[in-house]
Amino acid sequence: MLSQERIEKQSQLNQDTIHTFEAIVGKSWPIVQAIDFARNISKSTYNVLLNGESGTGKEIFAQAIHHDYCPGGPFVALNCASIPRNLIESELFGYEGGAFTGANKNGQPGKIEAANGGTLFLDEIGDMPLEVQPVLLRVLEDKRVVRINSSKYTTVNFRLIAATNQNLFQMVQEKTFRSDLYFRLSVLAIDIPSLRDRGKDILLLAHHFLDQISREIQCEPPKLSFEVYKALVEYTWPGNIRQLKNAMVYAVFKAKNGILNIGDLPNEIKHRQTTVSVTQNNDPLPLRDIQKEAIMHALCKNKNKDEAARELGLSKSTLYRKIKEYGLK
């Protein structure tokens, strides 16, 4: 069983790591829509529900909303799926000394008290035990909390941002999530798009991570061959942005001679199944657009067209023909 001290460390977030909306990489219509709506609601006091698959960046959105809402206040994060059922109440609501075996003899404030004056981020809210949900609902309604083994109420003022990769409405129908809590949370719901629905953002994020990782290990970012561009856009990315970042970490260490080739990608991407990547109009991202994007980036990253052609795995004559075809300089 996880110790109380370890859980406490896991659920804390250093204020220096708070992301802003400017830190969200992407220009596709789905992500721009999500960012715009999040900005519009960020300065309100209403609770927020972030819906999205695992790895889509829900916590970054939560941090960005918090930064606009109360940048000087605490941001307290708790993953409901990572806390044992018998400890989640004490983590949320706190406890007085002697509340349970192994408890701090002086008691401990919960995450709700710690979030006073700021934001409480509850990730994987769908995994919160049913018996805890009405207690949380009461706190949200009354704006006061009582610790376990105490009868004293403490007034709290915080904004709740919850996140889930589950269909909470369906869980309500199946009676595995309370309807009253769901409707309390879902007043302002934001759908965070999956990576496969973000079209060219896949390439933007790939280059972003390559630059970031290369800075960390102090090397030049590897250049991407056309086959890699094609593979990245065609892959389904079930793990979303998190999986893409991990793939780029792997690829940076595999790449040789400054070029990232198809063989440098993780096996699941090399042996990919084709998916439908979408653009603003939800149409498949054409091979022409992938190639144009790859050539544009190669021309920007290289000193001359010969180097760009070598990076892309194209002959010089083919590259010059494509440059003319796409109206590039």
pLDDT in tens, 140-184: 999 999 998 888 999 999 999 999 999 999 999 999 999 999 999
Provide the pLDDT for residue 195. Answer: 97
Question: Which residue, chain included where needed, has tokens 């915080």?
Answer: 158
For the chain, the structural domain boundaries read 4-193, 196-326
Size of the chain in residues: 329
Provide the pLDDT for residue 270. Answer: 85
Asked if pLDDT for residue 7 goes beyond 60, the answer is no
Structure confidence by residue, pLDDT tens digits, 252-308: 999 988 889 999 999 999 876 444 444 444 444 566 777 777 777 777 767 677 777
Structure confidence by residue, pLDDT tens digits, 63-86: 999 999 998 999 999 999 999 888
Distances in Å between the alpha carbon of 215 and those of 18, 129, 210, 211, 212? Answer: 20, 42, 9, 6, 5
**Helix (H) and strand (E) counts in the chain:** 15, 9
Domain range 4-193, CATH architecture: 3-Layer(aba) Sandwich (3.40)
Structure confidence by residue, pLDDT tens digits, 51-62: 999 999 999 999
- Give helix 201-217 / helix 287-301 axis angle, nearest 10°: 30
The answer to pTM > 0.85 is no
Give the separation between CA 269 and CA 266, rounded to whole angstroms.
6
CATH, domain 196-326, list 1.10.8.60, 3.40.350.10, 3.30.2130.30, 3.40.50.970: 1.10.8.60
Average pLDDT of the chain? 86
Bridge partners, 259 (sequence order): 223, 256
Provide the pLDDT for residue 296. Answer: 74
